[in-house]
Amino acid sequence: MAKPKVAFYWCASCGGCEEAVVDLAEDILTVTDAVDIVLWPVALDFKKKDVEAMQDNEIAVSFINGAIRTSEQEEMVNLLRKKSGLVVAFGSCAHIGGIPGLANFSNREEIFDYVYTKTPSTMNPAKTTPQTNTVVDGYELEIPEFYNTVKTLDQTIDVDYYLPGCAPPLDLIMNAVMAILKGELPEKGAVLAPDKSLCDTCPRNDSKPEKLMMSEIKRPHTVEMDPEKCFLAEGVICLGPATRSGCGERCINANMPCRGCFGPVKGVSDFGAKSLSAIASIMGIEGEEKMTDEDIQKLVDQIADPAGLFYMYSLPSSLLRRKVMK
Amino acid sequence: MFEPKIVAFFCKWCTSAGADLAGTSRMTYKPNIIGIRVMCSSRVDPEHILNAFKNGADGVLIGGCHPGDCHYQSGNYKTLKRITLLRKMINDLGIDKNRLRLEWISAAEGKRFTQVIDGFTDEIQKLGKLKIEQL
Ligand code: SF4
Ligand code: SF4
Ligand code: FES
């Protein structure tokens, strides 16, 4: 019997998701024994035309990482969608927008202006910026269009499953691959990770006091953090209460608070709004009835950049999707 | 003249009763609000507010009981903290923080209810239409 065909593709991403696949180490042999990899730009020399030559749905599953930022990425994922039975959004950027999604605090014009004229190492008196179409010596050049707004994969094509994380951890990748090979998949649209919150599985959960309160907000680099204690109990914002579990508590074990790369727990449509709500509720609980509006403003102002903090990984998948530009 | 759309969440026990008082006393106020009654101001999730803005609200008003009067003891304290933080966050997301307002209005304050509505409507009128790109 012919082995099922699998494709890996990357869009607006850092390469960490590719690394995660490589990190499967000898496990990858189990995978390559069972499947034929038909596209993997980082490692194998297949081209777009090879995919174009395939039948519709000929690829059993495409794992696509990265957010969608250019017309080329949009074209490639549409092609892969057509040729694949299943599409898995692989990693935070494809799932919820990820770090590249922070570009939605800005737009194309601002980004081009900064990158091509304002950076200290740039000399560009003519203020040349990339153009989709340019004529040079009578030849027309076309490069992919750089979109104004970064999108998630499912805002671009239909997605069957999501593998969350920056990058997805090895056990979840292997579980997903095995479930696909055995045909034991959950309902369409599922996130292939536990439905619990990170706090539920966090080793520091036991040290969480009965009544959590933060009378002062401390930024991680300003405190020496106790490696056993819940961050919130120390006044350091941790987004574990709103974040889906399954990462293996990677940041927590490195003594850093969670920033939500796994996205929200099931049923939440806006990760930032939910985490804001969770954090605001425990701020200054002790004596809250005596606090004046000014006291509360002062407490809140200790969070220097709430939008950047609460939407660090998820701005494109939020309700607003981007900053409202003037 | 620009007629703003304002979504207003009122808690059942105080502000909503204040609105009823204004109504039964035949007081007049500007017609720009779409009122939604909730059990407590703290029931209003930041998600609801962002959803309102996304779907065409030019302003969002939350009305709750005065400090100490919340029917559920401390709901309004939570609301105050959430809204204060959310105002800061929406401002960074390009939505003027003054488009989101929290007011304490009791069941006895029918007059104040009308003043708040008129004042907030004027303010949103000055801020103009909130233009959110539908992506
Ligand atoms: S808030 Fe963070 S440190 Fe505390 S239990 Fe939750 S995930 Fe663990
Ligand atoms: S602790 Fe949070 S930010 Fe870190 S890997 Fe886990 S889900 Fe992602
Ligand atoms: S019941 Fe009115 S604010 Fe809680």
Q: What is the CATH number of the domain that holds B89?
A: 3.40.50
The answer to whether the peptide bond before residue A179 is cis (omega within 30 degrees of 0) is no
pLDDT tens digits, A250-261: 999 999 999 999
Name the DSSP letter for residue B105: -
Residue B11: which domain range? 6-127
State yes or no: pLDDT of B105 exceeds 90.
yes
Q: How far B85 CA sits from the closest chain A CA (Å)?
A: 6
Average pLDDT, chain A: 94
pLDDT tens digits, A263-306: 999 999 999 999 999 999 999 878 888 889 999 999 999 999 99
Q: Is residue B1 part of a domain?
A: no
- How far apart are the C-alpha atoms of A243 and A258, rounded to whole Å? 8
Query: What residues contact A80, with CB distance under 8 A and at least 6 apart?
Result: A7, A9, A39, A51, A59, A62, A64, A87, A157
Q: Is residue B87 part of a domain?
A: yes
Strand partners, A283: A214
**Among B70, B82, B83, the residue to mutate for chain A (most A Cβ within 10 A):** B82
Q: Is residue B109 part of a domain?
A: yes
Instruction: Give B103's pLDDT tier (boundaries 50, 70, 90).
Output: very high
Hey, what CATH class is A5-99+150-182 in?
A: alpha beta
Are A250 and A208 in contact by the 8 Å Cβ rule? The answer is no
Strand partners, B8: B35, B61
- How far apart are the C-alpha atoms of A138 and B61, rounded to whole Å? 59
Ligand 1 centre and the CA of A152: distance in Å?
27
Q: Is any atom of ligand 1 closer than 6 Å to the C-beta of A278? A: no
Q: Is residue B133 part of a domain?
A: no
Scanning A53-197, the segments in alpha helix (DSSP H) are 71-83, 92-96, 108-113, 170-182
Q: How far B88 CA sits from the closest chain A CA (Å)?
A: 7
Structural domain tally of chain B?
Answer: 1
Beta strands in B1-135 (DSSP E): 6-11, 33-38, 59-64, 100-104
